């Protein structure tokens, strides 16, 4: 597995007329990435995200023609983050993905690597998921998982995955997974760390809506302040990062970044 290289590449920004057009383009990209990874490495590893745009994407992928264009038996889903809730909880990212996608397509049960957040000990949840990643990716010391694709959203406060403003998780550099206490939510979140995300072959952000416009501009054009704007910490080490945004979210961006 690849070791972390401390450099980053410039993001690509793609603007779509509306969320529906964005979702269609995301489905096309998902299919292409899955097939390319399977052809090159025999499997497609993906870290999934919660949120409204991924929810629409998963539902679309479960329909034709997308469903039949993906070799599902060689797809290995992981999760970028999870709420500290039971898998049956309506707020569970796993439950949402299961209902929208996993129940609808022939992914073998053993391929699915969910974060087992039902354990009341959030730290133990993080340790166990990190061990699962190390075993699956056959990692040695100081190595990080290299997903083929990581899907991310961005909150109105600049968080991504469960990397929230002013939390230690934002600056974690040695762990793959941590349980982070989020004061504003009064709960733990379990999340992949920045290096675990940044070592991916490709990272895609989905951002839609006018309410995200100011934050998107701050993240992409503002001063580098990852404590305040955690999405800025996502800077791939050797892969590619794409921001897929709708026109409403992109409305405040300057032409210099487009």
Q: Per-domain residue ranges for the chain?
A: 18-191+201-234
Q: How far is it between the farthest Cα atoms of the chain?
A: 48
Residues 6+ apart with CB under 8 A from 78: 45, 46, 47, 48, 113, 133, 147
Query: What pLDDT, on the 0 to 100 scale, is given for residue 44?
Result: 99
Give residue-wise pLDDT tens across range 165-197. Answer: 999 999 999 999 999 999 989 999 999 999 999
Query: What pLDDT, on the 0 to 100 scale, is given for residue 257?
Result: 80
Nearest to 30 by CA among 198, 209, 150: 150
Instruction: Categorize the per-residue pLDDT at 229 as very low, low, confident or very high, splitting at 50, 70 and 90.
Output: very high
Nearest to 53 by CA among 65, 61, 44, 41: 61
| Per-chain mean pLDDT for the chain | 95
Whether the CB-CB separation of 257 and 220 falls below 8 Å is answered with yes
Query: What pLDDT, on the 0 to 100 scale, is given for residue 6?
Result: 44
Give residue-wise pLDDT tens across range 96-155. Answer: 999 999 999 999 999 999 999 999 999 999 999 999 999 999 999 889 999 999 999 999
CATH 3.40.50.1360 fits 18-191+201-234, yes or no: yes
Residue 134 tokens, joined: 């190390």
Instruction: Categorize the per-residue pLDDT at 8 as very low, low, confident or very high, splitting at 50, 70 and 90.
Output: low
């Amino acid at each position: 597995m690849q070791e972390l290289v401390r450099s980053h590449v410039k993001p690509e920004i793609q603007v779509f007329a509306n969320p529906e057009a964005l979702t269609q383009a995301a489905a096309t990209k998902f299919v292409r990435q899955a097939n390319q990874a399977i052809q090159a490495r025999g499997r497609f590893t993906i870290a999934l995200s919660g949120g409204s745009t991924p929810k629409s994407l998963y539902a679309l992928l479960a329909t034709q023609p997308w469903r039949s264009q993906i070799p599902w038996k060689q797809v290995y889903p992981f999760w970028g983050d999870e709420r500290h809730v039971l898998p049956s909880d309506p707020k569970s990212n796993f439950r949402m993905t299961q209902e929208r996608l996993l129940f609808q397509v022939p992914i073998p049960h053993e391929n699915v690597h969910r974060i087992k957040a039902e354990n009341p000990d959030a730290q133990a949840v993080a340790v166990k998921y990190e061990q699962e990643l190390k075993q699956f990716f056959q990692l040695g010391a100081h190595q990080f998982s290299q997903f083929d694709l990581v899907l991310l959203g961005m909150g109105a406060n600049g968080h991504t995955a469960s990397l929230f403003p002013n939390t230690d998780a934002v600056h974690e550099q040695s762990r793959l997974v941590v349980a982070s206490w989020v004061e504003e939510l009064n709960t733990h979140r379990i999340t992949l760390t920045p290096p675990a995300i940044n070592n991916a072959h490709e990272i895609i952000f989905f951002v839609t809506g006018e309410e995200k416009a100011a934050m998107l501009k701050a993240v992409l054009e503002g001063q580098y302040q990852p404590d305040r704007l955690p999405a800025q910490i996502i800077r791939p080490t050797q892969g590619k990062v794409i921001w897929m945004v709708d026109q409403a979210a992109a409305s405040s961006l300057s032409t210099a970044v487009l």
